[in-house]
């Protein structure tokens, strides 16, 4: 089966701890994205990557970091500098940038 | 940067009634995409519109792209309980998409 996987589905962390969210795709897509979704709100872009070893900041990159060492993987680290990290995090990929995006199931992060 | 506004924020309809959500951009769009997110789920791509004035249909769903390519609409005829969820529009802005805030649709049976 081709698709995007995110793990874990639910994640709990203590305030002040960094946490890394996993995103893997086997669709052979070049572009990958991370979004944050808060209750009743739309999708806000955190980071995106058009190709391996390259990534750009989105609209709300502060307090987050990413890497793109492999085409299949685009992990997101939520650092302690992120002031309000509790949210639903969605990873997506597309063949090229700006095209149809395929989303993973999401990770719901709660910081206690 | 580009902004995409979507209205209404929320709509509650009786099963069988029609539903429409509207999307407006501050700038001309090269294309617009629509996604549906079921409660507790993730967004799923529905369609992409590219041409000025384009109209596309998927069963009971009708998608329209404005002549000026700055607005779009999604119309659902005779809603069913399976239509519940949040509908998002997204406009292409360079190498990324800018999503509207979404319209939450609830259907009373």
pLDDT of residue A2: 66
Q: Considering only CB atoms, which chain A residues are within 8 Å of B35?
A: 101
Q: Considering only CB atoms, which chain A residues are within 8 Å of B33?
A: 100-101
Q: Is residue B95 over pLDDT 80?
A: yes
Count Cβ–Cβ pairs < 8 Å, chain A vs chain B: 56
pLDDT band of residue A1 (cuts 50, 70, 90) is: low
Q: With CB atoms and an 8 Å threshold, state whether A90 touches B43.
A: yes
Q: With CB atoms and an 8 Å threshold, state whether B43 touches A42.
A: no
Instruction: Give burial (CB, 10 Å; 0-12/13-18/19+) of B42.
Output: buried
The pLDDT of B84-95, averaged and rounded, is 93
Separation of CA A89 from chain center: 6
Task: Calculate how close chain B gets to A41, using CA atoms only, in Å.
Answer: 5
Nearest CA in chain A to B94: A98
Q: Which tens digits make up the pLDDT trace of A40-97?
A: 778 999 999 999 999 999 999 999 999 999 999 999 999 988 989 999 999 999 998 8
Interface residue of A54, A94, A98, A108 to substitute, partner B, most B CBs within 10 Å:
A98
A22's enclosing H/E stretch is: strand A19-25
The span from the CA of A27 to the CA of A14, in Å, is 34
């Amino acid at each position: 089966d081709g698709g995007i996987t995110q793990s874990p589905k639910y994640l709990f962390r203590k305030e002040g701890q960094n946490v890394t969210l996993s995103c893997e795709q086997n669709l052979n897509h070049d572009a990958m994205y991370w979004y944050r979704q808060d209750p009743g709100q739309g999708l806000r872009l955190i980071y995106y990557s058009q190709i391996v070893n390259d990534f750009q900041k989105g609209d709300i990159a502060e307090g987050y970091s990413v890497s793109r060492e492999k085409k299949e993987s685009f992990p997101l680290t939520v650092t302690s500098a992120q002031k309000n990290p509790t949210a639903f995090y969605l990873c997506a990929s597309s063949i090229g940038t700006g095209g149809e995006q395929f989303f993973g199931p999401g990770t719901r992060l709660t910081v206690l | 940067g580009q902004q995409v506004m979507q209205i209404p924020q929320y709509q509650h309809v009786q099963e069988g009634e029609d539903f429409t959500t509207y999307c407006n951009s501050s700038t001309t769009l090269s294309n617009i995409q629509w996604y549906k997110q079921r409660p507790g789920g993730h967004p799923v791509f529905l369609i992409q519109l590219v041409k000025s004035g384009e109209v596309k249909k998927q069963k009971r769903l009708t998608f329209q792209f404005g002549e000026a390519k700055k607005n779009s609409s999604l119309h659902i005829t005779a809603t069913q309980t399976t239509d519940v969820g949040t509908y998002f529009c997204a406009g292409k802005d360079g190498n990324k998409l800018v999503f509207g805030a979404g319209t939450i649709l609830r259907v009373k049976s």
